[in-house]
Structures are given as C-alpha cells and as structure tokens.
C-alpha cells in the first residue's frame, strides 16, 4: 500500500492496492463470484423490489453459483430507481445510511442514492486507486473543482483524495478567476473538474496572461461528461499537464467506477466491486470482448444501494487483456455515446423529457419545442426554443416577458443549470413526419 514516504517517479506505475489491482484474473473471478452470491442473497431478503424481480425470473438466490450465472439475473434501470423514489431500493436500514446524493431522473424526480459508512470507505478506496494510477501522491495538492452537494463529483473525489493523503482544496465549481488565483497561490499540482471546464480554464488563463511557470499544475482528473482524444490533446497542450479520464455514475457509487492509468489506453474498472457487462441495448443479449454495446454494472460489495445489472445507457466496449501498467482489471473504452437521449450540459445530466414535463405544466405553450446545445469558449450552452400560442403573440410585450420569465425560471430550477430561452411564433419550429427532432447537439463529441 502506498505510504507518505513512498518514493515514486512518474515513469513507474503506482498502485493503491496492488493485491487487488493486479490480481490474477482467475482469483478475481472467484472473489466476484463469492461476493455476487452474497449480494443476491442479501437483496433478495432486504429489498422487496428485487425479491419480486428474482421470483419473476423464476430463479432462487441459491441458483446463482458465480458470475457465470450473472446473465440469468434481471436488469435494473433508472426508471426502477424512479419508481422506488426515494429510498425503497435501499438494502440497509436508514439508521445505517450516512449520506445521500442525487442526480437527474428522466422527468422531474431525481435518482436518490444512499451510502453506509462502509460504502463511503469503499468510495474513497476507489478514488484513492484512481489518483494513484494517475500518479497523484501525498505530496500533491488537488483542487477539487467538481460541484459539491448532491452531485457526487465534489465530495466523492474529496474524501478519496484525503484518504490518499493528498492535500485537498475543496473549491467546488465555478468562479474561474478565483480558481486561477488559488491555483497560483496555493501551488495546486492536480485538478479535478469536467474536461470542458478544464479547457475553459485554459482559455481564461491565456486571456489573463497567466504564465505556465506561475503554476505547479501537472495532472488533471477529468470526467462526468464525454470527451474525445482531440479534447485531451487540447487540454494537455494548453495546460501542459497529463489529462486522465475518470468515469462513474451516482447509481453505482459516483466518480471512481473506472479510470485511466498513465498509459491512457482504456479505463480500468474497479471490478472487484463493480462487475461490468456489455449488452446489446435492443435485444439485451450479452456481447463479447471488444464488441461495442451498453455498459451494465452489478455492484457486489455495496450495502446501501446494491444494484443488479444496472443499465448505465453508456456505450463502450471492454478488454480483459492485462495493461502495460501491470493492472489486470478490465478496461473500458472512453465512453462517447449513450443509448438514450440524456444530454450532459456542463457536467449536469439533462433529459429532454424533464424539459417537456415543465413546459407541459406551463400554460400558454404549445408542445412544440427544440433544444439546441452548443459549446462556445468551451462552455456548454443550452438554448430552448419554445412556440407560444397565437394569443400571446398579439399580446403586449409585458405579458410575453412575464411568460418568458416563468418558463425560464421553471426549467432552470428543474434542471439545475442556466439556459437561454427563446420564445418563437407558432409553427416556426420544424415539424417532423415521424419522431420529432427535439435535440440539436452541435458539440459533435464523436471518436477522434
């Protein structure tokens, strides 16, 4: 295990827990199987939803002998979390839940996740692995610029970094001028934020004529949204740092489900805790190594909210080959797409259906709208075009302004991000013969 005195050079792989990260795959399989059996047993007895699902699948917990039986188990979806809002999927009593986080649901209600003390330890553990594999050690100073709060980014990275002995600057998101000032004054060596915010920071630094030698920054841990190899090159060049990808989702634990090592050739999944599968999103059939499909996770050690075959909707592929860094943990390709319509705007998950639900509640609006997403100066902008009723068009400007304020306020408070709202005249949004084209995403985040 990594200690404060550890003498590490950037060229050498750093493990947080070598016995797990480099475990022979046959041993790993045994460990996963044993934990899977226990987990299925536990949820069958503690979560009525899972008892029902497992019964409906015509199996008994004892039928699950190991991970070779994983495919027999039922899936869990975001909708299941929503239907059991807020706590009904928790497998531990509330007295043992010490933290909750939440992220966007498909409409209105958010997805609530709960952690026991052991879950928080586990989370810190996987973040400590992430940081070590990116070469971040106890002599580093990390500026955590992910949002703190219900979003898992800030607090998740925070406690993991403390566990790894790294000095944490809990600055949270936003306030770019201050971020830069603190980075200079406090000698920040590592930053954790979304990749688009990293590019924005780089641009601001250039405008403010901050010299590279004024900074001690050498590595960034970027995630919470898709980003391409092109973006990586841009970040690495403009900030002169190593840019490492970190992946995660609240339902599974938050950031730290998987992350890159310094080889930057796929993200190592902490699969002693989260067993990955790739399925065909249409047929739900499991796919083989190297085949692209939807990523599914089963958590085998979590207590608060263990999930069985959770459909992430993220598209990727897996390789089980040992990495050059020595880790045996399965790697996933960078995630660049989803099998649903979720958008990620400045790191915040947004479903078009959430916007639609708000609009339908607001009088004076036709159900015709369009969402346009752009990235300007490396910041995402969501513009919402909404058609108003004929009667409003002929109304006085004051009334239209009031309507605009009402819609903007309602949408912004539901999504948790600011938007640009344009009210447009009836019949100006293009009609489609089939499925309405609700979203125009001009960011073009595709494989480099």
Q: List interacting residues with ligand DLL (CB under 6 A).
A: 103, 146, 152-153, 223-226, 245-250, 254-255, 312, 314, 335, 338, 344, 349
Toward ligand DLL, which CB reaches closer, 135 or 255?
A: 255
Residue with structure tokens 């991970």? 67
Q: Would the CA dihedral through 407, 410, 415, 419 be positive or negative? A: positive
Nearest residue to ligand DLL by CB is 223
Give the shortest CB-346-to-ligand DLL separation in angstroms: 11
Give the shortest CB-393-to-ligand DLL separation in angstroms: 38
Toward ligand DLL, which CB reaches closer, 21 or 225?
A: 225
Give the shortest CB-171-to-ligand DLL separation in angstroms: 15
Toward ligand DLL, which CB reaches closer, 344 or 407?
A: 344
Toward ligand DLL, which CB reaches closer, 2 or 247?
A: 247
- The CA distance from 19 to 327, in Å, is 10
- The CA distance from 19 to 126, in Å, is 14
Toward ligand DLL, which CB reaches closer, 33 or 152?
A: 152
Phi-psi category of residue 267: left, alpha or beta, with phi > 0 → left and psi -120 to 50 → alpha = beta
Toward ligand DLL, which CB reaches closer, 28 or 112?
A: 112
Give the shortest CB-256-to-ligand DLL separation in angstroms: 8
Give the shortest CB-103-to-ligand DLL separation in angstroms: 4
Chain-centre distance of CA 43, in angstroms?
A: 24
Is the distance from CB of 193 to CB of 379 less than 8 angstroms? no
- The CA distance from 66 to 286, in Å, is 16
Give the shortest CB-97-to-ligand DLL separation in angstroms: 18
- The CA distance from 63 to 102, in Å, is 33
Give the shortest CB-248-to-ligand DLL separation in angstroms: 4
Distinct helix (H) and strand (E) counts, the chain: 12, 21
Toward ligand DLL, which CB reaches closer, 54 or 113?
A: 113
- The CA distance from 36 to 62, in Å, is 11
Closest CA to 127 of 147, 96, 149, 152: 152
Give the shortest CB-136-to-ligand DLL separation in angstroms: 14
Toward ligand DLL, which CB reaches closer, 97 or 348?
A: 348
- The CA distance from 9 to 54, in Å, is 49
**H-helix or E-strand spanning residue 160:** helix 152-163
- The CA distance from 195 to 306, in Å, is 29
């Amino acid at each position: 295990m990594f200690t404060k005195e550890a003498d590490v050079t950037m060229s050498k792989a750093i493990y947080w827990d070598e016995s797990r990260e480099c475990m022979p795959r046959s041993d790993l399989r045994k460990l996963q199987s044993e934990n899977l059996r226990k987990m299925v047993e536990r949820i069958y007895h503690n979560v009525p939803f899972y008892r029902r699902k497992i019964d409906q699948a015509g199996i008994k917990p004892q039928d699950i002998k190991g991970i070779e039986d994983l495919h027999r188990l039922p899936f869990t979806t975001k909708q299941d979390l929503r239907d059991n809002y807020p706590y009904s999927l928790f497998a531990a009593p509330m007295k043992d839940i010490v933290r909750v986080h939440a992220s966007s649901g498909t409409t209105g209600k958010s997805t609530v996740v709960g952690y026991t003390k052991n879950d928080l330890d586990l989370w810190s553990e996987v973040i400590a692995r992430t940081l070590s594999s990116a070469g971040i050690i106890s002599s580093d100073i990390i500026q955590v610029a992910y949002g703190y709060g219900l979003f898992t980014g800030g607090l998740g990275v925070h406690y993991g970094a403390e566990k790894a002995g790294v000095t944490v600057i809990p600055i949270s998101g936003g306030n770019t001028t201050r971020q830069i000032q603190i980075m200079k004054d406090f000698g920040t060596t590592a930053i954790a934020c979304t990749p688009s915010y990293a590019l924005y920071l780089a641009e601001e630094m250039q405008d403010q004529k901050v010299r590279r030698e004024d900074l001690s920054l050498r590595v960034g841990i970027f995630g919470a949204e898709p980003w391409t190899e092109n973006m990586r090159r841009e970040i690495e060049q403009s900030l002169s740092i190593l840019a490492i990808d970190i992946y995660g989702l609240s339902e599974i634990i938050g950031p730290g489900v998987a992350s890159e090592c310094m080889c930057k050739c796929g993200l190592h999944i902490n699969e002693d805790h989260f067993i990955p599968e790739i399925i065909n999103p249409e047929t739900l059939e499991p796919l083989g190594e190297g085949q692209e499909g939807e990523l599914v996770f089963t958590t085998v050690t979590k207590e608060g909210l263990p999930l069985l075959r959770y459909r992430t909707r993220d598209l990727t592929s897996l390789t089980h080959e040992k990495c050059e860094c020595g880790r045996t943990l399965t790697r996933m390709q960078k995630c660049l797409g989803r099998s649903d319509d979720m958008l990620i705007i400045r790191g915040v998950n947004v479903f078009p259906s959430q916007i639609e639900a708000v609009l339908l509640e607001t009088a004076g609006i036709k159900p015709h709208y369009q969402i346009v997403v752009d990235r300007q100066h490396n910041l995402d902008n969501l513009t919402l075009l909404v058609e108003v009723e004929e009667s409003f068009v002929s109304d006085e400007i004051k009334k239209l302004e009031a309507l605009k304020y009402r819609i903007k306020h309602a949408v912004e408070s539901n999504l948790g991000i600011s938007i640009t709202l344009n009210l447009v005249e009836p019949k100006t949004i293009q009609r489609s013969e089939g499925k309405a084209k609700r979203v125009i995403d001009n960011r073009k985040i595709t494989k480099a």
